[in-house]
Amino acid sequence: ISLLPLIVCLAIAGTGLGVSMTGLQTSAIEALPPQEAGVASGVFSTSRYLGSIVGSSLLASLLKSASGEDSRFGAVFLLVAIACASCVSPVFNSATETPKYSYVLGLI
């Protein structure tokens, strides 16, 4: 795989995503009642992060299969798995706590 076309394609995709994300998030939040703005923002962000993770994994798999080198990618995937596991624990711990205060600013 030639690196230059890959870099150009990723730059174009990144620019398009960067330009469109603000409008998409605003539309997702404004489509719901103000009481559900936090839920809409959370679902949007979660789906965006999951899409980024899956897309990165697929791209890495494609690059791995094209290059034929296995040793370096195994170590990188192990580090990413450890990082993901360390992020999951606080999420489950905070899910059991009930919020004491909730502030909504800028919504009517």
In order, the DSSP letters of 53-64 are HHHHHHHHHHHH
Q: Is 14 within the bounds of a domain?
A: yes
Q: Is 54 within the bounds of a domain?
A: yes
What value does the mean pLDDT take over residues 60-68? 70
Q: Which domain holds residue 11?
A: 3-95
pTM over 0.85, yes/no: no
Contact criterion met (CB below 8 Å) for 1 and 66: yes
Q: Is 102 within the bounds of a domain?
A: no
Total domain count for the chain?
Answer: 1
Structure token digits, residue 74: 């195994």
Res. 6 pLDDT band, cuts 50 70 90: confident
Query: So what's the pLDDT on residue 71?
Result: 59
Buried b (16+ CB within 10 A) or exposed e, 41-59: eeebeeeeeeeeeeeeeee
Q: Is 23 within the bounds of a domain?
A: yes
Q: What is the pLDDT of residues 10-43, one digit of tens each?
A: 889 888 888 888 888 888 888 888 888 888 888 8
Cα(40)–Cα(42) distance, integer angstroms: 5
Q: Is 105 within the bounds of a domain?
A: no
